[in-house]
Chains A and B, each alone.
Chain A
Amino acid sequence: MDVLSLLLADSRFPGGGHVHSGGLEEAVARGLVTSERDLPPFLSGRLRGAGELAAVFAAAAAHAAARGVRSGYWLLLDAELDARTPSLAQREASRAQGRGTARAGRVAWPSPVLAGLLAATPRPHHPVILGALAGIAGTPPRDAARAAAYLAVSGPASAAVRLLGLDPLSVNAIVAALAGDLEAVAARAAASAGAEPADLPAPGAPALDLLAEAHVRQHKKKEVRLFAS
């Protein structure tokens, strides 16, 4: 694992990821996650749905950036991730984080490939821009996928500490226990990285989609929420 993938997976990376709880805040508000005991199943479900999807597209984007694809490819990848994200709330959360990551990326790692991606898709999905930044720097698809999958669980885990006052050491141990699953997700994502965009896997998770939609409704009702998603 290189420094770039450490940077991208760091919660202090200035991409705006810290304002997203990945559905955890809504789950807490509904009493679905109330204690440390509820966290592992929530994170596992998140990893196998949203996390796996993010890993698949991060790996594909890293593979594409490394081989210097034409800009038409980014449009195709964007449309394919849209089709795999039926929840409007999830699409908007992904593009909001993508935008933050793109801003940080433009300053840190300017390149013609990045310029081409942002010209084709000015509001990229988060996994795509994450994977592309990795690929531009020569980071392998598997590392990009691992970073995306890790972010899919580390964000909700730290949100759980803030929202429920859980013991940070226990929560850290819960995330650490996911290491094997994270590696498996990254390996599967790397295996499909070179596939045609239409043929990429499309893992979904209906409950998470419904939580994301409910979270947005609560925002609109001006219910107090700490996180954007």
Chain B
Amino acid sequence: MKAHARLTAELDPASGRTRLRELRSMAPLTLFPKRGGGTAQVHLVSSATTPLGGDELTLTVRVGPGASLRLSGVAATLALPGSHGEPSSAAVHLEVAEDATLEYLPEPTVVTARARHTATLTASLADGARLRTSEVLVLGRDGERPGGLVTTTNVTRGAVPLLRQRLMIGDPLLDASAAYLAGRKVLASEVLVWGADPAEAVGGDWWSVTPLAAGGTLLTVLAPDAVEAGARLAVARRHHPGWTPGCHDPVAPVTDQTVSPRSGNP
């Protein structure tokens, strides 16, 4: 199935609120607007079992100058093989204009056995644009080896590349290699182009917060399961000096044993 969903958010100068100017769902990608404050919120629901082999899915999100949008997933995505082993692809294009803010937070993608999936994310940022986007990849369901996934991330500000990464999942040798995915079941990463970046890299066992060369920060976590990956990502995010969660984003009470070994009297 081929589908192209589009979402455009713009700032309404009169009210100072973000309005959704275009909200075009196309099965299996359904966009549900939510009532919100100054930030527009939309849920992305995959309305069928998708991506399935043969699927070509595209999502284009544009956030106009000064506008603020949060687009989040509601359920994990299962990358599944087609009946004749056809590959599937999902492309996400994000355009964030001057002084606009976008959070694109899909739920985890589970790469099931025999899937052949290609995921690409392209984010084009203008000056003063803020972006938070995460990707959580689960290498197969419980007790299952993953199929094949190639995921590519491109984040640019104007003509300047901030992050370009391509990862391959599903080669048993690389999945297990201490120099590639270290045999961990879940890879979680998050890009934050959001105010001040850390001056130095911060991290612990199998997680890090590292400033990118031309601005922006990458959070990386390798974890045994998605729950721990999410918790670790939340810990990592707290080490980002520019990060300011919105009112809709309560900070989870996660203990951080690696970095703050003790509390109380100095």
Contacts and interface: CB of A to CB of B under 8 A. Distances in A.
Bound pair: A and B?
Answer: yes
Instruction: Report which residue of A23, A32, A33, A80 has the largest number of chain B beta carbons within 10 angstroms of its beta carbon.
Output: A32
B94 interface: no
Interface string B163-180: 111111001011011111
Interface in B167-205: 167-168, 171, 173-174, 176-182, 184, 187, 189, 200-201, 203, 205
A198 B161 contact: yes
B102 to A, nearest CB: 20
B88 interface: no
Given A86-B218, A198-B161, A202-B165, A210 B180 contact: no
Interface in A175-229: 198, 201-211, 213-214, 216-217
B178 A204 contact: no
B152 interface: yes
B214 A83 contact: yes
Contacts of B218: 86
Contact of A88 (B168, B200, B214): B200
A84 B222 contact: no
B212 interface: yes
B178 A83 contact: no
A80 B164 contact: yes
A208 B179 contact: yes
B56 to A, nearest CB: 21
Contacts of A207: 177-182, 184, 206, 222
B164 A83 contact: yes
Given A88-B201, A213-B208, A44 B173 contact: yes
Interface residues of B, number: 38
A46 interface: yes
A203 B169 CA distance: 12
A210 B220 contact: yes
A50 B222 CA distance: 18
Contact of A45 (B180, B184, B200, B208): B180
Nearest to A153: B179
A79 B157 CA distance: 12
B207 interface: yes
Nearest to A82: B213
A206 B167 contact: yes
A210 B213 CA distance: 17
Interface string A30-70: 10110000100111111011100000000000000000000
Contacts of A49: 179-180
Interface of A: 23, 27, 30, 32-33, 38, 41-46, 48-50, 79-80, 82-89, 91, 198, 201-211, 213-214, 216-217
Interface of B: 152, 160-168, 171, 173-174, 176-182, 184, 187, 189, 200-201, 203, 205-208, 210-214, 218, 220, 222
18 contacts: A41-B178, A42-B179, A43-B179, A44-B173, A44-B174, A48-B168, A82-B212, A82-B214, A83-B164, A86-B212, A86-B218, A87-B201, A88-B200, A202-B152, A202-B164, A211-B179, A213-B203, A216-B201
